[in-house]
């Protein structure tokens, strides 16, 4: 009986203590990545993707050797990429000159983008068909979340 009472008392102390703990006040503007109140409806800053024609775009710096190069030119004219059409291939699919930079010509996709057919020919790999999964267009915007990552 004594034990039972002690147990009930301990439970009451625990519950009571729990209820009495100071609530930690978290303001709604520090809960998420957006540093505004959850009741605000903020308008994101406007930005525009590059409108440069491929002929004039040049290339952008690469962050590290194996990083997928960023797309330096406009994209709107060449999308969507789907089973019926892939305009990227019209300019970047050139297995004859893989790894060679021909002046005035688009960089050819590297060998990693191809698979070998039964006749030992290079065919565009299905894994690399949807170019925009890995290559992204660029716009002049601030990073939403800062980071200290450095490639080589």
Q: How far is the CB of 82 from ligand HEC (least distance, A)?
A: 11
Please state the closest distance from residue 117 (CB atom) to ligand HEC, in A.
17
Distance CA 106, CA 137 (A): 16
Q: 34 vs 112, which CB is nearer to ligand HEC?
A: 112
Instruction: Please report how close the Cβ of residue 146 comes to ligand HEC at its closest, in angstroms.
Output: 25
Q: How far lies 152's CA from each of 134, 146, 147, 149, in Å? A: 20, 18, 15, 10
Give the residue with the Cβ less far from ligand HEC, 59 or 141.
59
C-beta closer to ligand HEC: residue 22 or 96: 96
Rounded to an integer, what distance in angstroms lies between the CA atom of residue 88 and that of residue 84?
13
Q: Which C-beta is closer to ligand HEC: that of 122 or that of 130?
A: 130
In angstroms, what is the minimal distance from the CB of 26 to ligand HEC? 39
Cα 53 to Cα 56, 74, 75, 99, 139: the distances in Å are 5, 6, 9, 23, 15
Residue numbers at the binding site for ligand HEC (CB under 6 A): 54-55, 57, 59, 66, 68-69, 71-73, 75, 78-79, 81, 87-92, 99, 106-107, 109-110, 112-113, 128-135
Could you write out the DSSP letters of every residue in 70-104? PB-S--GGG----SS--HHHHHH--GGGTT---TT
């Amino acid at each position: 009986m004594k034990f039972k009472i002690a147990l009930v008392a301990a439970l009451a102390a625990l519950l009571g203590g729990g209820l009495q703990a100071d609530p930690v006040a978290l303001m709604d503007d520090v809960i998420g990545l957006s540093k505004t109140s959850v009741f605000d409806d903020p308008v994101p800053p406007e930005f525009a993707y590059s409108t440069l024609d491929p002929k004039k775009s040049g290339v952008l710096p690469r962050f590290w050797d194996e990083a997928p190069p960023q797309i330096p030119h406009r994209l709107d004219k060449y999308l969507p990429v789907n089973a019926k059409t892939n305009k990227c291939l019209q300019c970047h699919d050139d297995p004859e000159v893989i790894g060679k930079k021909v002046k005035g010509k688009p960089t050819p996709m590297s060998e990693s983008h191809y698979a070998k057919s039964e006749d030992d020919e290079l065919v565009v790999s299905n894994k690399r068909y949807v170019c925009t999964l890995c290559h992204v267009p660029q716009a002049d915007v601030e990073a939403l979340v800062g980071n200290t990552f450095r490639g080589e």
